[in-house]
Chain A
Amino acid sequence: MVSKSLAELATGLSNGEFSSVELTRHLLARVEAAQAALNALVSVTGEIALAQAQAADREIAAGRAGPLTGIPVIHKDIFCTDGVRTSCGSRMLDNFVAPYDATVVARLRNAGMVMLGKANMDEFAMGSSNETSFYGPVRNPWDTRRVPGGSSGGSAAAVAARLTPAATATDTGGSIRQPAALCGVTGIKPTYGRVSRYGMIAFASSLDQGGVITVSAEDAAVVLGAMAGFDPRDSTSVDRPVPNYAAALDRPIAGLKIGLLKEFFEKGLEADCERCVRAALDVYRKLGATLKEVSLPNISLSVPAYYVVAPAECSSNLARFDGVRFGYRCQDPRDLTDLYRRSRGEGFGAEVKRRIMTGTFVLSTGYYDAYYLKAQQVRQLIARDFERAFSEVDVIMGPTTPTAAFGLGAKTADPVTMYLNDIYTIGANLAGLPALSIPCGFAGTLPVGLQIIGPHFAEDRLLNAAHAYQRETDWHRRIPPGYE
């Protein structure tokens, strides 16, 4: 059952080969068995899952099943789930039971998906290794001494270990693509505004975007199709029809113009990663695509620009956690200021505090022009670089990460070393572009990701290109030893 695609699972369910309850029980048992080794989930919602699976089985029996009816999913714990703890990986929200569903959660539930639980993540999605979670790090199923990436590390590890066929995720600077690459799975960050942010706990509102992690692009197309679309409750949601992503998968890609990002193949890229990415490009060449070098002259400033914009927005968004209306409150506050200071000081972990302070600093009197304004201008330059590149090519390809999964604790001493791990992914967030990562080989025993970036709202083109590659290769079908 674990090697089946979503379409095969849907067929198995509709043929009566197995029921959604059986599938759900099977995966809940896998979740339980893997928890000690991976720590991929922070909550398991077995009762909800079985009730939803029973309801799905009734729909299937009545002939009302859609492509996702009865298919299990795990939600990143950043998405509010009605009546279920939504912690965002933080002590601050350890006791927070969401009083409503995020739009993403509601849409997937309405599509018939079965929620197995909530995925571990970096605290408030701030991290690239899942080591900032209040609930402890997630471990990479390919090597449990290594990180799964972050911030959607639980989602990526759970899909890689085949605990679920799909997991929701979010990406502010690479938090879907980087863990997908490090865990050997497929992850897509849609265009900014494509998926509703309602009920998705905010980190940096001009960058945050929800998406999905699955085994294959074919699976991602089905789930993304159900998640995406206009939501009046998110003021940044874009009112534009959602194409049929699944229908676009099999378009021939002969003639596809691929841009190779010159700057992504320069210093810092590990030799094994480069070898895998270049081999993937050869596959595209054989499929009739044309390759051409493109340059984004300002991309080297994407990490500095991001580490102004994202902390600035985070310091503002996280001001709501004040120990008054919900979340953690310190013991015996002396006065209101003490209540705020200690609730926040004790409720947030070190990395979140570091980013709040960075954001507070760059927005403070006298520094706004030098940092925030300048970062917004650099952001514009980077967006224009991409626009110029997309006037010449259809998609841009390159590595997702400079290295394969690194060791637990290897990059925690210096935050800047950790930040630089997102050097290839941040550009797409700054420009609001859709991007995905697919497995394209191994550095030793560790998976390597190929990143594909497209123009705004070209998710169909990205999924089409990814699927064309996945029809020729089987990297995405590889399962970590012990999880077959």
Chain B
Amino acid sequence: MKRTEIETIAHLARLELREAEIPSYQESLARILELVGELGRADVAGVTPMAHPLPGLSQRLRADEVTERDDHERYQLNAPRVEAALYLVPKVIE
């Protein structure tokens, strides 16, 4: 894979890569794509893609009711920066 391709993918995934890491990802992603490229030999004409591993089951929905209590103080103990119950991030709008 080209260096620019790795940089594009890393940006899409919002991953900062160190310069020194890039060559190893070029190599290993190329190897992985070679492996998954074997899918090309499968005859899948007319086969329904399988999104759920159990046949006949689909995602269950629940009633639209409030079931959680407000526990934000507890949850925000894990936040890197919080002020007045708000998560702080660098300034977005100048």
- Measured between beta carbons, the chain A residues less than 8 angstroms from B90 are 333-336, 338-339
Closest CB in chain B relative to A88 CB, distance in Å: 13
Do residues B36 and A304 form an inter-chain contact, with CB atoms below 8 A?
yes
Interface size class of B (residues with CB under 8 A): 35 or more
A99 contacts across to B, CB distance below 8 A? 71, 74-75, 77-78
Instruction: Decide if A474 is an interface residue (CB 8 Å cutoff).
Output: no
Interface centre among B11, B81, B90, by most chain A C-beta atoms within 10 angstroms, is B90
Is B32 a contact of A96 with CB atoms below 8 Å?
no
- Cα distance, A361 to B71, chains bound together (Å): 37
Contact A307 B35 (CB under 8 A): yes
Q: Are A456 and B54 in contact (CB under 8 A)?
A: yes
Roughly how many angstroms separate A340 CA and B60 CA in the complex, as a whole number?
32
B87 touches A380 (CB 8 A): no
Contact with A along B45-78 (1 / 0, CB 8 A): 0011111111101011110000000010011011
The one of B44, B52, B80, B91 that contacts A329, using a Cβ cutoff of 8 Å:
B80
Of chain B, the residue at the smallest CB distance from A82 is B74
Question: Which B-chain residue is minimally distant from A315 (CB atoms)?
Answer: B13
- Which residue of B is nearest A305, CB measured? B39
> Quick one: which of B49, B61, B87 contacts A377, CB cutoff 8 A?
B49
B16 is an interface residue with CB less than 8 A from chain A: yes
Whether the Cβ atoms of B13 and A357 lie closer than 8 Å is yes
Contact A381:B42 (CB < 8 A) given known A338-B90, A364-B9: yes
| 8 smallest beta-carbon distances between A and B, as pairs | A432-B53, A345-B16, A376-B49, A329-B80, A326-B78, A377-B44, A380-B50, A341-B16
User: B: which residues have CB within 8 A of A?
Assistant: 6, 9-18, 21, 24-25, 28-29, 31-42, 44, 47-55, 57, 59-62, 71, 74-75, 77-81, 87, 89-92
Identify the A interface with B (CB < 8 A). 95-97, 99, 191-193, 206-207, 232, 235-236, 238, 298, 301, 303-305, 307-308, 315, 322-329, 333-342, 344-346, 348, 350, 353-354, 356-358, 360-362, 364, 370-371, 373-381, 383, 414-416, 419, 429-432, 456
- Further contacts, 4 of them, CB under 8 A, given A207-B53, A334-B90, A362-B36: A336-B90, A361-B9, A383-B53, A383-B55
